[in-house]
């Protein structure tokens, strides 16, 4: 999968793609408009972070490339790639239980903390997409 050279973009299906884990220095793009919201992305090999309207949405350590990031009332789905295993932090509804799937395999139920953050570790290999689905229970 190619990295996102423009740092963030809107896909034909209405989702967004963002991040570039191959950058050696921090890069950011802010005020990217998508569906009436303003997004800001910061990315490089150490971290990828996405904010919507000034609020936290996604973070990975180390950096990743995310494709087809879609938020629904029931959860979030996206494809992720990186050259190292990553710890993902995702903003969802606070104190809510979610079922987490990695490449269509259920890895279990997880509950967000009081601030709505969910933490997921994913095993990544460069050039291979991993699909993450997080559905409200």
pTM of the model: 0.95
Distances (CA, A) of 118 to 24, 40, 87, 111, 127: 27, 20, 10, 7, 25
Q: What is the pLDDT of residue 137?
A: 93
Residue 1 confidence (pLDDT) above 90: no
- Per-residue pLDDT tens over the stretch 118-137: 999 999 999 999 999 999 99
Task: Give the whole-angstrom CA distance, residue 110 versus residue 105.
Answer: 14
Alpha carbons within 13 A on the beta-carbon side of 46: 4
Task: Measure CA of the first residue to CA of the last residue in the chain; give whole Å.
Answer: 31
| CA neighbor of 62 nearest in space, from 87, 28, 25, 80 | 87
- Per-residue pLDDT tens over the stretch 73-127: 899 999 999 999 999 999 999 999 999 999 999 999 999 999 999 999 999 999 9
Task: Give the whole-angstrom CA distance, residue 50 versus residue 43.
Answer: 9
Q: What is the pLDDT of residue 43?
A: 97
Residue 2 confidence (pLDDT) above 70: no
CATH 2.60.220 fits 8-136, yes or no: yes
The CA angle 86-90-96, to the nearest 5 degrees, is: 130
Task: Give the whole-angstrom CA distance, residue 105 versus residue 52.
Answer: 29
- Per-residue pLDDT tens over the stretch 26-78: 999 999 999 999 999 999 999 999 999 999 999 999 999 999 999 998 999 99
Q: Which two tokens stand for residue 22?
A: 């191959």
Residue 3 confidence (pLDDT) above 90: no
Q: What is the pLDDT of residue 5?
A: 85
Contacts of 72 by beta carbon, 8 Å cutoff, 6+ apart: none
């Amino acid at each position: 999968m190619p990295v996102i050279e423009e740092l963030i973009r809107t896909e034909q299906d209405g989702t967004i793609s963002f991040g570039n884990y191959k950058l050696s220095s921090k890069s950011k793009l802010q005020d990217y408009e998508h569906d009436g919201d303003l997004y800001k992305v910061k990315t490089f090999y150490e971290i990828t972070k996405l904010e919507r309207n000034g609020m936290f949405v996604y973070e990975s350590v180390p950096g990743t490339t995310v494709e087809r990031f879609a938020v629904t009332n029931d959860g979030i789905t996206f494809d992720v790639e990186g050259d190292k295993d990553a710890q993902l932090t995702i903003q969802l509804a606070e104190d809510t239980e979610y079922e987490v799937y990695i490449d269509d395999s259920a890895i279990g139920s997880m509950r967000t903390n009081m601030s709505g953050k969910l933490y997921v570790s994913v095993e990544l290999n460069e050039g291979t997409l991993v699909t993450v689905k997080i559905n409200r229970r």
